[in-house]
Chain A
Amino acid sequence: MTAVEEVPLSPAGNPIGFGNMKRVEDQRFVRGHGNYVDDVSLPGMVHGAILRSPFAHARINGIDTSRAEQLPGVLAVITGKVLEGIPRPDLLGDNFAWMPTLSYDTQAVLATDKVRFQGQEVAFVIATDRYIAKDALELIDVDYEPLEPVMDAKRAMEPGAPIIRDDKGQQDNSITDVHGHKDWESGNAIGTAEAIAAAQADPDCVVVTQEVMYPRVHPAPMETCGSVAFLDKVTGQLTLYTTSQAPHAHRTVYAMVAGLPEHKIRVISPDIGGGFGNKVGIYPGYVLSIVGSIVTGKPVKWMEDRNENLTSTSFARDYHMTGTIAATKEGKILAVDVDVLADHGAFNGVAQPTNYPAGFFHIFSGSYDYPNAHCKVTPVYTNKAPGGVAYACSFRITEAVYLIERLVDCLAAELGMDPAELRLKNLLRPEQFPYTSPTGWVYDSGQYENTMRLALEMADYDQLRREQAEKRARGEYMGIGLSFFTEGVGAGPRKDMDILGLGMADGIELRVHPTGKAVLRLSVQSQGQAHETTYAQIVAHELGIPPEDIEVVHGDTDQTPFGLGTYGSRSTPVSGAAAAVVSRKVKDKARQIAAAALECSPDDLEWQLGQWHVKGDPERAKTIQEIALLSHGSLELPDGVEGHLEATTVYNPPNLTYPYGCYVCVVDVDPGTGQVKVRRFIAVDDCGTRINPMVVEGQVHGGIADGIGMALMELIAFDEDGNCLGGSFMDYLLPTSMECPDYELGETVTPSPHHPIGAKGVGESATVGSPPAVVNAVIDAISPFGVRHADMPLTPANVWRAIQGRPVRVDMAVE
């Protein structure tokens, strides 16, 4: 990290470029001066609340809102029938009762015919006060006729299973993507099948098949979802304050669903209290706050409670995976084949690029060198909440990494080989990059073995194995778990990737004012990622302007250029690249202006951080601040050079970036209670260039905590009647300070060759990489009991059951 140490410091003591820098955002947050959506209060604002279905599957025979309407303080009660009466002449539907999802499916804004999951939106009350709005919900009488709920993806596929999407005329519960496909496949089916068959027939090879469930979990950001909508009837202007990770994309979708002209819509994402993918989708509540404002003429605030957040907004995972891995007895992996049953809930609301119905799951071939891989993913409807791509999953790379890392450990157990040794035998080698994977990804750069060896060294792996052997001899069960992950982030090249037809490029605008202070306007949106700090550092690195002199503006569609927002770890790979490119445009323009001022040719100038000077004569120089003033002044500019010092750009990434890492987890398991204690967690990440290492490490910490939570305690389960069993923080268990260890972090730096500053993005790396490390550690600990696999969450009860050889069922209630 010598590069960081050489960075000059600004007058305020900040690095003029990359390095640790205290966050600009913190000044307001530690004083309680953040501005989150629920902090927004507009004159005359009223409050909305949603009545939700108690049933997972039921026909609605009637809704009587008369008692609710009579409650003093209630302004309006809106049902699906009311919405059906509001015509919406556009390509996406006929009326307001249904809206498009991000996957070209439809979702009910308010149920009309049936409810299809517990917690589904049935009616919307608008009242003068949030307590009265909730009171009114109790006074709405809904005549439900309960139907058999389909709570299990396998049951959904059975002939004779109740049809969930009869509204679309479906004859079964299969999901068809926009290209007309029911199953989605990637890789080489024939080659993989042949390689596995050959291995089965070969006494020098082994084939291991394992069913692996990645259960349904929820991102559960500390701030729930909500919005404040105001449609000004005089100007026709809609202003929407909302918990959105993608304000520009949302504005476009609102233009479509609300039939409002896009230039009259302003979406503002103020401070956001955590997103993790929960705030990518468009929820009925947001649309209802808009409808509520149309109906009442007043600003309408809608904020979820925690139960609503956990039961109705975007869940994550719910992937039933079966993997088969073939290898030689020496441990050379030959092929992997995967079959997935994907539970998408009642509406296909996954947020992912259109051409990738299973997200980036097909990166499951992982970090290893073998020629044959194939997957088939079959999505189905069930009577559960919609969603699926969320919780820092990098578009389902969490599921992919979990699968391959569990399979590799199962293979190690079958071979009787150390899992570290097995991984080292198969890791991709530096000279193989750029590497084309068997499912078509082009990994940009990597030095995998270095990273893994550093992790093993930090963990003192051999010593850990010795300690484990000694403890086992004494009847104590410690486990050591490894994972090695590769992500593909920064979606994405517009020729391949879009969401609802919107290409995934990001705009940016940089203006340097006459006094040399700058404003950078971003299309992406921070939910805690420190954009106001790190983007200023990118500009500082390129132009030499102190970061405290750069204001970063984001989260307001009226103030920023179009772009697709912050999720899938895409800010740094896409918008971060845009920040570097736009700074370079400004730098080039500054060169022309400096040349005019110094009366020389631009070719005679060379750049030294913060100034252009005549080659060989550093005294004849113009600083960027001087150039900014000149650009606004009366200096005669060369032909083709406009005044002022500013530029815009739209960055279309040529490829994804591929951050990677190696994690080691050490656990102690009490075989009597099944209790797991995470003793150590070592994480070595390679995310290329680190703009602000402090911020990178903070994101890794948070992701490891997520992984510990998912591996050990988090679960959205249902009982057979369709009741959600994870609807509060009493039941949906999140890790606290007591479950998380003091993480030990390391780094290697392999820049991305195609990113302007070599950065790869890191926001989701640890959430992707940590669950398999924790699970592998627990299974390693209890392997003396003959356990080769047990599904998450590895709660004490589930670990104890696994030790006892009893089945563990995680997708439904454990009886």
Chain B
Amino acid sequence: MQVSMNINGEPITADIEARKLLVHFIREDAGLRGTHWGCDTSNCGTCTVWVDGEAVKSCTVLAAQADGHEVRTVEGLEGADGLDPVQQGFIECHGLQCGFCTPGMLMTARWFLDRNPSPTKDEIREAISGQICRCTGYKNIVDAIHWAAEHPRTNEVTA
């Protein structure tokens, strides 16, 4: 079947099998390898992207379901005037080691901060509780998102 969507502001149309997962569409058809895959069971969250501004696990969405929608991935976080504060926060607070969970964490973090601009650390912990990191033990990720909350974005990146 043919699907068309807009990823990070770029239109893409491809002929795919109806069963193709959005994560595979993003990685293989759109060629955006920043979105990762880490489990069979929707538990790890490393595949998190936004569809129409909502954070979703792209391993749990068919590409066909995203037909006609707006998708944003980690490659679309950086704005014209530099990194999004969540990206900068992860650098400042050492919120990543191997970097494999990072794209999903970043997408959830920005989505969450857009809805809760001054969260407590407990609220941040809850926000990322659907995502697994095997390297950092989470403390620095929580600190990184907190850092980003204190450094609001200067440029808008939505949807």
Closest B residue to A40 by beta carbon equals: B33
Secondary structure type dominating chain A contacts:
loop
Q: Check if B97 is an interface residue, CB within 8 A of chain A.
A: yes
Given contacts A32-B32, A33-B34, contact A274 B98 (CB under 8 A): yes
Please indicate the chain B residues that have their CB under 8 angstroms from the CB of A27 in the complex.
91
Pair B96/A29 contact, Cβ less than 8 Å: yes
Please indicate the chain A residues that have their CB under 8 angstroms from the CB of B87 in the complex.
30-31
Contact of B103 among A32, A704, A740 (CB under 8 A): A32
Given contacts A222-B133, A702-B135, contact A694 B97 (CB under 8 A): no
Q: Give A13 to B9 CA distance when docked, in angstroms.
A: 36
Q: Give A351 to B111 CA distance when docked, in angstroms.
A: 42
Q: Check if A785 is an interface residue, CB within 8 A of chain B.
A: no
Given contacts A32-B75, A131-B19, contact A22 B92 (CB under 8 A): yes
Pair B41/A730 contact, Cβ less than 8 Å: yes
Please indicate the chain B residues that have their CB under 8 angstroms from the CB of A729 in the complex.
39-41, 43-44, 132
**B75 to A: closest C-beta gap in Å:** 5
Please indicate the chain A residues that have their CB under 8 angstroms from the CB of B94 in the complex.
22-23, 694-695, 697-698
Q: Check if B5 is an interface residue, CB within 8 A of chain A.
A: no
Closest B residue to A273 by beta carbon equals: B100
Q: Give A36 to B43 CA distance when docked, in angstroms.
A: 20
Q: Give A305 to B43 CA distance when docked, in angstroms.
A: 13
Contact of B41 among A38, A705, A728 (CB under 8 A): A728
**A589 to B: closest C-beta gap in Å:** 35
Closest B residue to A25 by beta carbon equals: B99
Pair A222/B41 contact, Cβ less than 8 Å: no
Interface string of B66-81 (1 = CB under 8 A from A): 0000000111011000
**B31 to A: closest C-beta gap in Å:** 8
Closest B residue to A271 by beta carbon equals: B99
Interface string of A664-682 (1 = CB under 8 A from B): 0000000000000000000
Interface string of A589-603 (1 = CB under 8 A from B): 000000000000000
Given contacts A30-B106, A33-B34, contact A23 B91 (CB under 8 A): yes
Pair A307/B40 contact, Cβ less than 8 Å: yes
Please indicate the chain B residues that have their CB under 8 angstroms from the CB of A706 in the complex.
134, 137
Contact of A222 among B44, B90, B128 (CB under 8 A): B44
Pair A30/B96 contact, Cβ less than 8 Å: yes
Pair B134/A734 contact, Cβ less than 8 Å: yes
Given contacts A29-B99, A30-B102, contact A743 B134 (CB under 8 A): no
Interface string of A710-742 (1 = CB under 8 A from B): 000000000000000000111000101110101
**A677 to B: closest C-beta gap in Å:** 13
Which of the candidate stretches B112-120, B138-146, B150-158 sits at the interface with the other chain? Answer: B138-146
Please indicate the chain A residues that have their CB under 8 angstroms from the CB of B101 in the complex.
222
Contact of B125 among A130, A223, A699, A737 (CB under 8 A): A737
**B61 to A: closest C-beta gap in Å:** 16
Contact of B75 among A31, A39, A274, A742 (CB under 8 A): A31
Please indicate the chain B residues that have their CB under 8 angstroms from the CB of A305 in the complex.
40
Pair A701/B74 contact, Cβ less than 8 Å: no
Chain B interface size range: 35 or more
Q: Check if B58 is an interface residue, CB within 8 A of chain A.
A: no
Please indicate the chain A residues that have their CB under 8 angstroms from the CB of B97 in the complex.
274, 528-530, 698-699, 702
Closest A residue to B124 by beta carbon equals: A737
Q: Give A271 to B33 CA distance when docked, in angstroms.
A: 13
Q: Give A527 to B74 CA distance when docked, in angstroms.
A: 21
Please indicate the chain A residues that have their CB under 8 angstroms from the CB of B88 in the complex.
30
**B145 to A: closest C-beta gap in Å:** 10
Q: Give A189 to B158 CA distance when docked, in angstroms.
A: 69
Q: Give A409 to B99 CA distance when docked, in angstroms.
A: 38
Q: Check if A428 is an interface residue, CB within 8 A of chain B.
A: no
Given contacts A694-B94, A738-B125, contact A701 B136 (CB under 8 A): yes
Q: Check if A34 is an interface residue, CB within 8 A of chain B.
A: yes
Please indicate the chain B residues that have their CB under 8 angstroms from the CB of A130 in the complex.
24
Please indicate the chain A residues that have their CB under 8 angstroms from the CB of B78 in the complex.
31
Q: Give A436 to B102 CA distance when docked, in angstroms.
A: 44
**B110 to A: closest C-beta gap in Å:** 12
Pair B96/A737 contact, Cβ less than 8 Å: no
Q: Check if A788 is an interface residue, CB within 8 A of chain B.
A: no
Q: Check if B57 is an interface residue, CB within 8 A of chain A.
A: no
Number of A positions contacting B (CB below 8 A): 57
Pair A29/B38 contact, Cβ less than 8 Å: no
**A224 to B: closest C-beta gap in Å:** 7
Q: Check if B12 is an interface residue, CB within 8 A of chain A.
A: no
Pair A32/B73 contact, Cβ less than 8 Å: yes
Pair B100/A220 contact, Cβ less than 8 Å: no
**B64 to A: closest C-beta gap in Å:** 14
Pair A274/B129 contact, Cβ less than 8 Å: no
Q: Give A513 to B46 CA distance when docked, in angstroms.
A: 40
Q: Give A22 to B101 CA distance when docked, in angstroms.
A: 19
Most buried by A among B133, B141, B142: B133
Pair A223/B35 contact, Cβ less than 8 Å: no
Please indicate the chain A residues that have their CB under 8 angstroms from the CB of B24 in the complex.
130
Please indicate the chain A residues that have their CB under 8 angstroms from the CB of B103 in the complex.
32
Q: Check if A769 is an interface residue, CB within 8 A of chain B.
A: no
Q: Check if A306 is an interface residue, CB within 8 A of chain B.
A: yes
Please indicate the chain B residues that have their CB under 8 angstroms from the CB of A736 in the complex.
128-132, 138
Interface string of A288-312 (1 = CB under 8 A from B): 0000000000000000011100000
**B127 to A: closest C-beta gap in Å:** 8
Q: Check if A26 is an interface residue, CB within 8 A of chain B.
A: yes
Please indicate the chain A residues that have their CB under 8 angstroms from the CB of B130 in the complex.
736
Pair A273/B36 contact, Cβ less than 8 Å: yes
Pair B73/A274 contact, Cβ less than 8 Å: no
Please indicate the chain A residues that have their CB under 8 angstroms from the CB of B32 in the complex.
32
Interface string of A681-705 (1 = CB under 8 A from B): 0000000000000110111011111
Pair A224/B137 contact, Cβ less than 8 Å: no
Q: Check if A272 is an interface residue, CB within 8 A of chain B.
A: yes
Closest A residue to B84 by beta carbon equals: A30
Q: Check if A221 is an interface residue, CB within 8 A of chain B.
A: yes
Pair B17/A701 contact, Cβ less than 8 Å: no
Pair B33/A743 contact, Cβ less than 8 Å: no
| Contact residues, A262-281 vs B (CB, 8 A) | 271-274, 276
Pair B98/A32 contact, Cβ less than 8 Å: no
Q: Give A702 to B134 CA distance when docked, in angstroms.
A: 7
Contact of A38 among B37, B39, B91, B92 (CB under 8 A): B37
Most buried by B among A33, A39, A223, A305: A223
Closest A residue to B31 by beta carbon equals: A41
**B32 to A: closest C-beta gap in Å:** 7
Interface string of A8-34 (1 = CB under 8 A from B): 000000000000001101111111111
Closest B residue to A29 by beta carbon equals: B99
Please indicate the chain B residues that have their CB under 8 angstroms from the CB of A695 in the complex.
94
Please indicate the chain A residues that have their CB under 8 angstroms from the CB of B106 in the complex.
30
Contact of A306 among B27, B41, B92 (CB under 8 A): B41
Interface string of A335-373 (1 = CB under 8 A from B): 000000000000000000000000000000000000000
Closest B residue to A276 by beta carbon equals: B134
Closest B residue to A224 by beta carbon equals: B38
**A524 to B: closest C-beta gap in Å:** 15
Complex A-B: 17 CB contacts under 8 Å: A23-B94, A26-B96, A27-B91, A30-B87, A31-B78, A34-B99, A38-B33, A219-B134, A222-B38, A222-B101, A271-B99, A273-B98, A699-B97, A706-B137, A728-B40, A730-B41, A743-B137
9 shortest interchain CB distances as A-B pairs:
A32-B34, A273-B100, A528-B98, A29-B99, A705-B137, A528-B97, A701-B137, A729-B43, A32-B74
Binding site for A on B (CB under 8 A): 17, 19-20, 24, 27, 32-41, 43-44, 46, 73-75, 77-78, 83, 87-88, 90-92, 94, 96-103, 106, 121, 124-126, 128-142
Q: A31-B34, A702-B135 are in contact. List 18 more A-B contacts (CB 8 A).
A: A30-B96, A30-B102, A30-B106, A31-B83, A32-B32, A32-B75, A34-B34, A38-B27, A39-B27, A224-B38, A273-B99, A528-B99, A529-B97, A701-B138, A728-B39, A730-B41, A737-B138, A737-B142
Binding site for B on A (CB under 8 A): 22-23, 25-36, 38-39, 130-131, 219-224, 271-274, 276, 305-307, 527-530, 694-695, 697-699, 701-706, 728-730, 734, 736-738, 740, 742-743
